[in-house]
Amino acid sequence: MYKQNKIRGFIKDYDFKLIFLVISLTVLGIFAIGSARQAVQGRQVMGMALGLFLMLIVSFVDYHFVLKFYQLIYVLTIILLGLVLSPLGDDAGGARRWLMIGTFRFQPSELAKILLILFFAQYIMLNKDRLNSFGIILLSLLLIAIPMLPVVLEDLSTTIMIAIIFCVMMYLGGLSYKLILAVLAIMVPVSVIFLTIVIQPDQNILQDYQQKRILAWLYPEEYKDAEAYQQNNSMMAIGSGQLLGKGYNNNEISSVKNGNFISEAQTDFIFAVVGEEWGFLGSCLIIILEFLIALECALIGWKARDMAGHIIAGGTAALVCFQSFINIGVATGLIPNTGLPLPFVSYGLTSLVSMYLGMGFVLNVRWVSRRTRND
């Protein structure tokens, strides 16, 4: 009877629903990747297996124990991001985002998103009573600026993503609404001024490829054979899928993957492959799964027993939600090309394993919260 009650308690406390959603979305991504580029499908399966293994291990390690090393986590994050600027760094697609150690290729900025969530979860919890003071706000900005400095030199899109996650975590930590509105009142006109400046021919703020991505978004007809080529083809591919799509792994020469209209379709533009082959319904399925994962993380954060758990789950929810929005926004022409992967769907082992690690910590937040409540 004792063992039966223990098993029932485990089933009740452990979030199998979140695991099911994550695995389902990853499997769909593996199928989409296999259609886009068969040669890398096996590696994504290996990435899923490794991610699942690490997720399950992390889910049973009390996050309070991990957060005791939050200062070490912060230093490790800075070191990893800084190494990308060293001779070990590697370029691809115009952006310097990877580390090359022998034949091993690794993207530190993807892991950094999870590590920074952990660091700020503990930092904000320790300073929650003083979070709205000028000193803590200034220190918080300094602490996020240090790891963002090498990232902004490597990848503007990841910089924006980290900034969004930071803002969400500060809000979850109890930042005053007045301060949030004041920042928005400043950021909106600053963003307009920034956009106006960076599209000028003699600007020195953005790298050339970053400026061209913005110009291609603003003036797609002028760049239809260059920087806007992939984004335009992505929108046409998604539209051509109509309701049910052209069929999985089809052989139509006019498709984005067979016609080579999008380079590396298995990564940033995987949603174009989904839209073309699976149609509107398949695209909606991907969006719904991303939303349900983010929602489940948010609900776990809402029910967390302390501020750190609240921020870990909420920050991870923000990561899944906003990164999905940005990736799909790029594929549909809503925003400029950024180079961010679609969580759990795009090909990329670092991104996939990092997201599974994030899910592991979210699972642990629920596990610890439920067991604490039951005790």
Flag whether 196 is in a domain.
no
Which neighbouring-strand residues pair with 90?
98
pLDDT, mean of residues 77-88: 83
Torsion of CA 218, 224, 226, 230, to 10 degrees: 90
Residue 116, Cα to own-chain centre: how many angstroms? 13
Flag whether 333 is in a domain.
yes
263-304 pLDDT per residue, tens: 778 888 999 999 999 999 999 999 999 999 999 999 999 999
HSE-CB at 221 with a 13 A cutoff on CA atoms is 0
Q: Which amino acid is at 267?
A: T
Asked if pLDDT for residue 344 goes beyond 90, the answer is yes
**Rounded to whole angstroms, how far apart are CA atoms 253 and 275?**
16
Residue 6 pLDDT class (50, 70, 90 cuts): very low
Give which of 66, 47, 61, 170 is closest to 106, Cα–Cα: 47
Flag whether 94 is in a domain.
yes
Reduced 3-state DSSP string for 79-142: HHHHHCCCCCEEEECCEEEEEEECCEEECHHHHHHHHHHHHHHHHHHHCHHHCCCHHHHHHHHH
Flag whether 188 is in a domain.
no
pLDDT, mean of residues 102-110: 78
In total, how many domains does the chain have?
Answer: 1
Per-residue pLDDT at 58: 96
Q: Considering only 3-12, 288-297, 347-356, which range has the smallest mean pLDDT?
A: 3-12
Asked if pLDDT for residue 365 goes beyond 70, the answer is yes
Which neighbouring-strand residues pair with 291?
none
Question: Is the pLDDT higher at 306 or at 105?
Answer: 306
List, in order, residues 6 or more apart from 96 with CB less than 8 Å away.
84, 85, 89, 90, 153, 154, 155
Question: Is the pLDDT higher at 97 or at 92?
Answer: 97
- Distances 181 to 128, 177, 187 between C-alpha atoms, Å: 20, 6, 10
Q: Considering only 41-45, 71-75, 240-244, 357-361, which range has the smallest mean pLDDT?
A: 240-244
Structure tokens at 253: 């020469």
11-39 pLDDT per residue, tens: 677 889 999 999 999 999 999 999 888 89
Kindly give the interhelix angle for 134-154 and 108-126, rounded to the nearest 10 degrees. 180
Flag whether 84 is in a domain.
yes
Flag whether 198 is in a domain.
no
Flag whether 62 is in a domain.
yes
- Tell me how crowded residue 255 is: count the other CB atoms within 10 A of its CB: 24
52-71 pLDDT per residue, tens: 999 999 999 999 999 999 99
Flag whether 137 is in a domain.
yes
Kindly give the interhelix angle for 307-331 and 349-374, rounded to the nearest 10 degrees. 150
pLDDT, mean of residues 225-250: 80
Per-residue pLDDT at 209: 65
Range of the domain at 235: 2-175+207-374
